[in-house]
Amino acid sequence: MKKINLLIVILLLFGFQSVYSQQGYTATKVFGKEQLAVRDLRSSAIAGSIGWNGLSGVGVSFRIYPTTKVGVEAGLGLASTGFKLGVRGKYLFSDKNFTPVVGAGFLYGTGSSLDITYDATSSQPEYTYQVKASPFLQIVGGFEYMSNGGFLIGFDAGYAALLNGTNYVITSGSPTKETLTAMDIALGSGIVLDITIGFAFGR
């Protein structure tokens, strides 16, 4: 009887040890996963963007994270320079959820072959113009936040430089000097302000 009781005790101890070991292994795996940077777990994202001289104007952007501190973005949307496409690389200063960022990219507005009419005002007679193809180089700085659940928000500010001089042509009428200056601001080189909100996906 004593031998049987001893055998039962040994089996119970072995069983408890096996369960404990499995729980410890699982906990270690879960704990290890929680220590990974969020962009290790969520390495791609889709987002809506709106802004001035931004990556896609008013549109959508896609991004991937080859590493936790490097992001690559591509955008497509509509802007004052027509349909707009953009590609940009970013460096993230931290692998935490919230991080400052810097980036540089290339933007391209397709322009339009249609005449756009500017209605007459008290100081400016009516005139028409066309927007030409508009390539830009852009440099930005800002921040990005990605929650553990995938919510993504970012803000960028910087400067976009038009590469081909004037990107519009007056087809009729005579804009004033002040009007031309306003058009240069609206269509040419200038500041960048861009807000992005989206969702990041897991691997």
The rounded distance, in Å, linking the Cα atoms of 96 and 112 is 43
| Farthest-apart Cα atoms in the chain, separation | 112
pLDDT of residue 34: 53
Are residues 113 and 31 located together in one domain of the fold?
A: no
Are residues 144 and 119 located together in one domain of the fold?
A: yes
pLDDT of residue 9: 44
The pTM assigned to this predicted structure is 0.76
pLDDT tens digits, one per residue of 114-143:
888 888 887 888 999 999 999 999 999 999
**Number of compact structural domains in the chain:** 2
The secondary structure of 86-123 as a DSSP string is EEEEEEES-SSSEEEEEEEEEEEE---SS-EEE---SS
pLDDT of residue 108: 97
Q: For the chain, what's the residue count?
A: 203
Domain that residue 70 falls in: 38-201
Are residues 171 and 73 located together in one domain of the fold?
A: yes
- For residue 19, pLDDT over 80 is answered with no
- For residue 23, pLDDT over 70 is answered with no
Are residues 148 and 181 located together in one domain of the fold?
A: yes
One-letter amino acid of 164: N
Sign of CA dihedral 51, 189, 102, 84: positive
Are residues 126 and 113 located together in one domain of the fold?
A: yes
Confirm if 160 and 166 have CB atoms less than 8 A apart.
Answer: no
Are residues 9 and 55 located together in one domain of the fold?
A: no
Are residues 23 and 71 located together in one domain of the fold?
A: no
Are residues 12 and 57 located together in one domain of the fold?
A: no
Are residues 15 and 63 located together in one domain of the fold?
A: no
Count CB atoms within 10 A of the CB of residue 155: 16
Are residues 47 and 28 located together in one domain of the fold?
A: no
pLDDT of residue 202: 83
User: 47 or 15: whose pLDDT is higher?
Assistant: 47
In DSSP terms, 136 is beta-bridged to 107, 162
Are residues 58 and 23 located together in one domain of the fold?
A: no
Are residues 132 and 190 located together in one domain of the fold?
A: yes
In DSSP terms, 24 is beta-bridged to none
152: domain CATH number is 2.40.160.20
